[in-house]
Amino acid sequence: MYEITFHSRGGQGAKSAVMLLGKIFSQLDKNIQAFPEYGPEREGAPVRTFLRISEEEINIKSSIESNDMMIFLDDSLFSEEKIDLLKENGILIINTGSEIQLKRKDVKLYLMDITKVALKIINRNVPNIGLMAFFPFLMNEINEQKFKKDLEELLSHKYSKEIVEKNMKTYDEIKKQIGEKYGKKI
């Protein structure tokens, strides 16, 4: 079972991102479980959102306590003790413009200023779709072209053509920056 926790603020689209990923992985014939930690819905409030992906049936129904991947969509939410819930050699993605040094040396750390790109293209701090570019990069079983197509298709169910285009542009830009910063071609 592969387990991911997203830390974000209300309005950044983490819930949408997790639900989209759930749908995409489900189409890959995986069992998934995608759920946010609910409270009163308030823009800016810290929220955790969870995603489980598994070949087997998923029974457990509580929040994730041992992550394969942790994502911070807002760097102000990041603190090193929060990654106590990250497994050894786990992946950590932080949406930030600054350099972050970790005490833990096993963690695979990825830093990317997705907000900057989102602000430039969408003019709002919704870094969720930009973040998506990390998944084909990090997970070998994902076919990037199909992933991108599925993502665009799912987005167009809900949003206008203009919004979808802007989001996909953000995705492409982040994809490019990942390639430049972390080497591997995707």
Smallest distance from the beta carbon of 62 to other proteins, in angstroms?
4
Nearer to other proteins, 58 or 77 (CB): 58
Q: Least distance (Å) from other proteins to the CB of residue 12?
A: 18
Cβ proximity to other proteins: between 48 and 169 the closer is 48
Residue 53 makes CB contacts below 8 A (sequence gap 6+) with 1, 2, 3, 4, 25, 30, 31, 32
CB of 23 vs other proteins, minimal distance in Å: 5
DSSP 8-state code for residue 143: -
Question: Which spans of this chain sit near other proteins (rule: CB under 8 A)?
Answer: 18-19, 22-23, 25-27, 29-36, 38, 40, 58-63, 65
Residue nearer to other proteins on the CB measure, 35 or 182: 35
CB nearer to other proteins: pick between 62 and 98: 62
Interstrand relation of 2-9 and 86-95 (parallel, antiparallel or unpaired): unpaired
- Residue 185 CB burial class (10 angstroms; 0-12, 13-18, ≥19): exposed
Q: How far is the CB of 16 from other proteins (least distance, A)?
A: 11
The Cα 90–Cα 108 span in angstroms is 6
